[in-house]
Structure 1
Amino acid sequence: MARKRKRKATPKSRNSVFQPPGTISYVGIEREGNVATETIIYNEQSYEKFENIHLNDLKKELVHWFNIDGVHDIELLEQLGKDFNLHHLLVEDIANTTQRPKTEFFDECIFQSIKMISYDAAEHELNEEQVSILLTKNSVITFQEKTGDVFENIRERIESSRGRIRTSSNDYLFYSLIDSIIDHYFIAVEQIGEYLNDLEDEIFEEPDKESLNKVQRNKRLLLSLRRAIYPLRESISKILKEQNDLIDPKIVTYFHDAYDHCIQITETIESYREINTGLKDMYLSSVSHKMNQIMQVLTIVSSIFIPMTFVAGIYGMNFEYIPELTWEHGYQYFWIINVIIFVTLISFFKWKKWL
């Protein structure tokens, strides 16, 4: 029997609700270990990579990408907030991993909160992680919950000077990071679509109780996916509408493409939710049809044996004078009558197309 999941309040509501605004406290899955940091500095002619936060002179002609894997270290976040002159409310949002995807504009930067999603096909689960991306005047800063992300392709493009990323400024890197996360949504959505197709075949051919449990799990999974992606459309739209000196108007054009992708993914998720709802109705119809088939067989069998039982009941009565009991071939006649009844009923059922 599937264990019922209890709905719990978020850590934010339990631990941080009475704290003053701007108080930095980590909200999310409990994590331990050191925070991993990385710095990539590049332009069209040069490329450098460091395994820590390398705060040298932030030259305008160089793009600086600072990546922090782990937001549970409050002291480090406070120090980074001071180093990069970040608003205390912004740092508080970075430490809160239950944030809704959003875009906020500050004097010193643009803050983008986004969910990085991967789909575990074996367990049929979503792995969700919050990523905070900051675009400042001379750099891009990314904060992740843990090590491992979808940015390896971008790192490889920067290192190998492939594409336009090395010839562009930090606002294009800001867009590329967001676009990389959105592109991986398509992979997760495609895998979920394949799972729905397999589940549809399973329900059509051999539905069981576990099939209904899978449909219910799909409902929760698609709802979680929608909560992660649907607000992103509004967030990207805000970037398109808000004019800001940190983003070149030429780069804004690329965000139109990201916005279209968000709409496409959202529409696909809505269609999958409708399909999943249809699977539940399909399961109930399949079970009902299977039950009707069983009842049909039992009814036909009963219809065949009822007249035979009637004949057997008559000649099984304990009356002394029943003429047929003295017949020499009475037993054979009894079976001939039953065979005639059987053949007649089977022929009638086939004529009615009940068989």
Structure 2
Amino acid sequence: MVWQKRYSPPGASPGTLHVPSALRGDVRITAMHYSPSAYHEEEIIDLDDFLCTAPSDGVLWLNVDGLGDVNVLEKLGQHWNLHPLTLEDVLNVPQRSKIEDYEHYAFLTFRAAFVEAPQHVRMEQISLFWGPSYVLTFQEEAEHDVFEPVRNRIRHRRGHIRRHGADYLAYALLDAAIDSFFPVLNALGEELEALEEAVFEAPTRETMEAIHAIRRTLTHLRRAIWPTRDMVQAFIHSESEWMTDPTRVFLRDCHDHVLQVLDVLESYRDLGGSLMETYLSVQSYRMNEVMKVLTIIATIFIPLTFIAGLYGMNFDRTKSPLNMPELQWYWGYPFSLALMAGVALCLVVFFRRKGWF
């Protein structure tokens, strides 16, 4: 899992809107307008017409899926008087999670995570503009929408969301993005459990590569979620006049979720490091076992080789009666084989009693 930073062209003036090639594609805009008693949802085809007739009462949530159209950013920036630097940050992917307070709005950027395929985790950057009665969100793609639970709460009037203002909606969207890390952590936890069993049962080179890959994924996730802790803390203490005390209470719960994600990531990183050490220890143990068996076999054959080498010397029996007289024995050859077998058996019994195999 590797993310490549997409910047504006070198030397471009601050606030320049440039869409990197990796972000180019179709753009889909949806709008939800709601109040305690009603809500309206639509997909925007003509942005200019919508902005001319945009409702001023209740809460308006505009979500943009895809970052491939600079014109959309420019029109929204002009309509709500958004600073060019914040619009540029929307396209500079990925950004470090942060919050910036402006006179008429606040700008937040953070990450969401999802499991795209087995053993493949992806993250996307989400940018959020929060004003007195509106929230604008920008997602990199529409395929994985972490905001669908929030939409369902608005549609079916569940929870507190339709009784509160735009500050609560901003909190709910941020909380949904943070909660998207928990299914990812569950998937990684199951993978770590499977790797733990594989390490002790039948570790292979693929096991080591899988451990390394999951440790790298955990490092990327931690790097993404760590700044979110400070960002949520700053959001809680925002001096914006549109921030209400009830929303601050809910944001503290959101901060707790970030800490939970970080705690799980730390424990998984420690487990990943332990698995790597265990894998190396198991491999070293298996190698030692192989070397021990080979050493025992070699040790058993040392005296046998000595006996065979001793009687393999070519001394002339006719020159001296002392030149290996046992070579003339009738039972000489069977005796030498019995001697070798006896020595080998004694060594095997000795090693067995020592518990060396």
TM (norm. structure 1) is: 0.91
Give the aligned partner of residue 37 of structure 2. Answer: 45
Q: 2:176 aligns with which of 166, 180, 184?
A: 180
Give the aligned partner of residue 11 of structure 1. Answer: 6
Q: 1:28 to 1:248 in 2, by over 3 A?
A: farther
Q: 1:23 aligns with which of 10, 16, 22?
A: 16
Q: Conserved in 2, the CA contact under 8 Å of 1:28 and 1:96?
A: no
5 Å matches for 1:138-177? Answer: 138-148=133-143, 149-177=145-173
Q: 1:312 aligns with which of 308, 315, 318?
A: 308
Per-residue deviation at 1:177? Answer: 0.8
Q: Secondary structure at the match of 1:157?
A: helix
Q: 1:270 aligns with which of 263, 266, 273?
A: 266
Give the aligned partner of residue 193 of structure 1. Answer: 189
Q: Deviations over 1:17-74 (max 9, x none)?
A: 3111111222472422x310101111222121111154334333x2211111112211
Q: 1:348 aligns with which of 338, 347, 350?
A: 350
What is the identity, as a one-letter code, of the residue corresponding to 1:197? E
2:71 pairs with 1:75: yes
Give the aligned partner of residue 215 of structure 2. Answer: 219
- Cα distance in 2 for partners of 1:16, 1:174 equals 31
Q: 2:325 aligns with which of 316, 320, 323?
A: 323
Q: Secondary structure at the match of 2:161?
A: coil
Q: Secondary structure at the match of 1:214?
A: helix
Q: Conserved in 1, the CA contact under 8 Å of 2:23 and 2:67?
A: no
Q: 1:30 to 1:179 in 2, by over 3 A?
A: closer
Q: Secondary structure at the match of 2:159?
A: coil
Q: Conserved in 2, the CA contact under 8 Å of 1:116 and 1:129?
A: yes
Give the aligned partner of residue 128 of structure 2. Answer: 133
- Cα distance in 1 for partners of 2:20, 2:283 equals 45
Give the aligned partner of residue 59 of structure 1. Answer: 56
Give the aligned partner of residue 283 of structure 2. Answer: 287
Per-residue deviation at 1:132? Answer: 0.7
Question: Gapped runs of 5+ residues in structure 2?
Answer: 318-323
What is the identity, as a one-letter code, of the residue corresponding to 2:9? S
Q: 1:9 to 1:257 in 2, by over 3 A?
A: closer
Q: Deviations over 1:303-351 (max 9, x none)?
A: 1111112112222222233222222222222222122112211111111
2:30 pairs with 1:35: no
What is the identity, as a one-letter code, of the residue corresponding to 2:337? W
Q: Runs (4+) of structure 1 moved beyond 4 Å?
A: none
Q: Conserved in 2, the CA contact under 8 Å of 1:135 and 1:246?
A: no
- Cα distance in 1 for partners of 2:67, 2:103 equals 23
Per-residue deviation at 1:266? Answer: 1.1
Per-residue deviation at 1:245? Answer: 1.4
Give the aligned partner of residue 113 of structure 1. Answer: 109
Bigger Cα Rg: 2
- Cα distance in 2 for partners of 1:29, 1:103 equals 25
- Cα distance in 2 for partners of 1:89, 1:11 equals 15
Aligned residue pairs total 345
Identity over aligned pairs, percent: 35
Q: Conserved in 1, the CA contact under 8 Å of 2:113 and 2:124?
A: yes
Per-residue deviation at 1:117? Answer: 0.8
